Structure 1
Amino acid sequence: MAAALLLIMWQGLLPGLLCVCLGFVATRWLSPHLGRLMRMRDGAAPQLAATLVALLPLVLAALALPRTRGLIIDAPGQYRELLAFMASTVLELRDKLPPDIASQLPEGAADIQRAIANYLASKAGTLATTGRAWLGGLLFAFVGLLVGVLAAARPPVRHLKPLAAQLHERVRHFGETFRQIVVAQFWIALFNTSLTAIFLLVLLPLWDSRLPYTMALILLTFVAGLVPIVGNLICNGVLTLVGLSVSPGVALACLVFLVGIHKAEYFINAKVIGHRTHMGVWELLSVMFVMEAVFGPAGLVAAPLFYAYLKQELQAGGWV
């Protein structure tokens, strides 16, 4: 399992792994509900559930593609423009702030502004070549979903050989960890994204204020929301900085709103994820920083899942 997980991270197959687990969990959850609802014979309900879970992304894509084709295909370009926009906002920080506040900035602040702007511009440059990788990740994700639903629909094997039994036990632990962490984090990210969309699309226009790159910011909020703790900090920083490009008042409104909803997220995280997996915040942050240093942004996403799985295996063996 350790070798398989390292291989997945090394080859960039994390979206596929997450969708394998998602397809498996969704099919196993839907199957008994369909069986009771339609009074189907044994074996038919899992197959129907697998078919529905596999076809649902295709149906949603067919319905939404005319409206979201540009957003999906051109996503790397949009985020490249967003990073360049943020870099220019950082460089113009003194002009954006009120004069009495801008005058209080130390002389070295200009050097810090240039360093941050250069960092953002370098990240924007790397996004210029990620279009093909983005579409490849979507393909891996769908193939992983198919693998997950097919694995969930297969009939159970009664008598397993020793190696197969051990692998089955490891996969069961990993699937349970995924269900505890990723599914809960998905609903937290969806909650966060819904409130952010209401704020950006409804509340700010009522005050005659609109942020640029609104749809890209909403999508970023959902993706970053899948990463505990650090994702909230990323959302706070990006939205506040983009709000500052409009006016200091809009930036302050963004910051107050985001801090408010993220406080609710911290409570949910502590109750749902921390209680179920017995992970402390310091543990999670330490593992996330190490994984990010080794594997990049994918390590941030994988760290909570992999660490919780490792801890569950150690607890099952009586080590911790």
Structure 2
Amino acid sequence: MTQPTEFKLSTAAISVVGVALLWVPILSLHLTPALFAALLTFGGARATSAMLRRIWPALRHSEGLGLILFVLVVVLTVSLLVERAAEARGAGGGYAAVLQQMAAALDRLRLMLPPWLASHVPASLETLRTAAVGWLTSHAAQVQLWGGHTVRGLGYALAGIVIGALLTLQLAEREAGAVRTPAMSLALSNQFDGLVASFTAVVFAQFRIAAVNTVLTAVYLLGVLPLLGTPIPLAGTLVVATFVASLVPVLGNLVSNTMIVVVSLTHSLGVAALSLGWLVGIHKLEYFLNAHIVGQRIRAQAWELLTSMLVLEALFGIAGLVSAPIIYAQLKSVWYSRGWI
């Protein structure tokens, strides 16, 4: 922390406006995939290059080598995940197995429910598919818009990866040149460094949250249910899916919870209700875990982070919810550097 400066409301307002000038256009224009991809690429490459310099202090072009190594690790990880998914599909798991479990769940649910309620449950997956096709037909324009947003988001993410790679290489060249940096460039560089630090802190915290969610889910699926004599199929696959989905704050838990409850229905309605109760508890716990773990890294109390998440979710939807910890971390970093907190 630098020498504390006198607190002035106008200066504090300027710091808030400075952060808002970056984030409001990004959230309004749905550019968060590009920004996150750029920050992840830049931060990952910088962390990898720092590791290489610790091992080989005299290493030249460490940023470029770090970028190449980071990209290779990401590509290999994705390739392994795709390969494992293909193996699971070949072994009777994956999408086909989930469909079979859904069909069994529908049949069991119809038998357990009263006749007046069972009549509203699809008789088979074919009935469900027909209903889905009908809904898609009637909402074709909206579905096309969603598809366009998805493709556009992937394009933004790829552009962000390229931007992050270019930043890694060009900033390394500027630092190696040891030339005097203009005041404006230095200020922008400091702001960018603060953004990268905030993003890195939140991402590592999210990994910890995903690990906690996965452990709690594994305790339930691989421990509690077998002890009760009611194990469910695909438990190992669901645990892995929970970790991957939990890397997306809050929303990922909803996806994994839905999968687990659907598979639980194949055993009994009671197991499905128990699964739903356990997973809802984990989902609620994630809000407080997010606030506590991320708050420790950015010097924020749980109520501060929860408030920022609620406000930004109301303003910008899921993108605001996911970005809230990073935005608040950036603000807290500025205030801390000035000695205000």
TM-score for both structures, normalised by structure 2 = 0.63
User: Given the alignment of the two structures, is residue 130 of structure 1 paired with residue 146 of structure 2, yes or no?
Assistant: yes
8 Å CA contact 1:193–1:222 kept in 2: the answer is: no
- Percent same amino acid among aligned pairs? 32
- In structure 2, the CA distance between the partners of 1:5 and 1:215, relative to structure 1 (3 Å rule), is farther
Measure, in 2, the Cα distance between the counterparts of 1:306 and 1:220: 26
Paired amino acid for 1:141? A
Match of 2:58 among 32, 38, 41: 41
AA of the residue aligned to 2:66? A
Deviation at 1:18, TM superposition (A): 1.4
Q: For the Cα contact (< 8 Å) 2:292–2:302, is it kept in 1?
A: no
Contact persistence 2:42–2:165 (CA under 8 A): yes
User: Counterparts of 1:54 and 1:225 in 2: how far apart (Å)?
Assistant: 19
1:22 to 25, 40, 44: 40
CA distance in 1, matches of 2:221, 2:182: 56
Residue 53 (structure 1) shift: 1.4
Contact 1:244–1:250 (CA under 8 A) maintained in structure 2: yes
Change (3 A) 1:191 1:158: farther
Partner deviation per Cα, 1:93-113 (whole Å, 9 max, x = no partner): 99867x8xx9xxxxxxxxxxx
Pick from 42, 56, 59: which aligns with 2:73? 56
Equivalent position SS for 2:306:
helix
SS at match of 1:18: helix
CA distance in 2 between partners of 1:253 and 1:175 (Å): 41
Q: Decide which moves more: 298-307 or 26-35.
A: 26-35
Q: 1:10 aligns with which of 28, 34, 58?
A: 28
Structure-2 change in CA distance of 1:127 and 1:193 (3 Å): farther
1:187 alignment partner in structure 2? 208
Structure 1 contact 30–49 (Cα < 8 Å) conserved: yes
Distance in 2, matches of 1:136 and 1:238, equals 26
| 3-state SS in 2 of match to 1:279 | coil
Q: Deviations over 1:207-264 (max 9, x none)?
A: 453379x97996576445542xx55874696467536644233224424654786798
- Change in 2 beyond 3 A, CA 1:264/1:7: closer
Q: Provide the alpha-carbon RMSD of the alignment.
A: 4.5
Tell me the amino acid that sits aligned with residue 53 of structure 1.
Answer: F
* CA apart distance, 1:192: 2.5
Instruction: Provide structure 2 residue ranges, at least 5 long, that are not aligned to the other structure.
Output: 1-18, 89-94, 118-134
- More deviation in 27-36 or 252-261? 252-261
CA deviations 1:41-100 (Å, max 9, x no partner) are 34322211111112333344445446658x9xxxxxx9xx99xx8xx99xx999867x8x
Question: Does structure 2 conserve the Cα–Cα contact (< 8 Å) formed by 1:204 and 1:210?
Answer: no
Q: Residue type matched to 2:43 in 1?
A: V
Give the partner amino acid of 1:130: W
Which residue in 2 is equivalent to 1:164?
185
Match of 2:164 among 140, 148, 153: 148
Q: Counterpart of 2:269?
A: 248
Q: Equivalent residues in 2 for 1:230-245 (5 A)?
A: 230=250, 234=254, 238=258, 241-242=261-262, 245=265
Contact 2:232-2:264 within 8 A present in 1 as well:
no
- Aligned 8 A contact 1:197 1:218 in 2: no
Structure showing greater radius of gyration is 2
My pick for the range that moved more, 10-19 or 247-256, is 247-256
Q: Answer with 271-280 or 299-308: which moved more.
A: 271-280
Q: 1:315 to 1:18 in 2, by over 3 A?
A: same
Letter in structure 1 aligned against 2:61: A
How far is the alpha carbon of 1:15 from its aligned partner?
Answer: 1.7
**Across the two proteins, how many residue pairs are aligned to each other?**
279
Letter in 1 for 2:168: A
Point out which structure has higher relative CO (alpha carbons under 8 A, 6+ apart): 2
User: Per the alignment, do residues 134 and 55 of structure 1 end up closer, same or farther by CA in structure 2, a change over 3 Å counting?
Assistant: farther
Distance 1:194 1:294, change over 3 A: same
Name the aligned partner's letter for residue 27 of structure 2.
Answer: M
CA distance in 2, matches of 1:146, 1:200: 40
TM-score by length of 1: 0.66
SS across alignment from 1:12: coil
Residue 42 and residue 211 in structure 1: after superposition, are their counterparts in 2 closer, same or farther (change >3 A)? Answer: closer
Aligned pairs (5 A) from 1:1-320: 1-37=19-55, 39=56, 41-65=58-82, 68=85, 129-153=145-169, 154-155=172-173, 156=175, 158-193=179-214, 196=217, 207-210=230-233, 219=241, 222-227=244-249, 230=250, 234=254, 238=258, 241-242=261-262, 245-246=265-266, 247-255=268-276, 257-258=278-279, 269=290, 272-320=293-341
- Report the more deviating stretch, 25-34 or 168-177: 25-34
Moved more, 268-277 or 302-311: 268-277
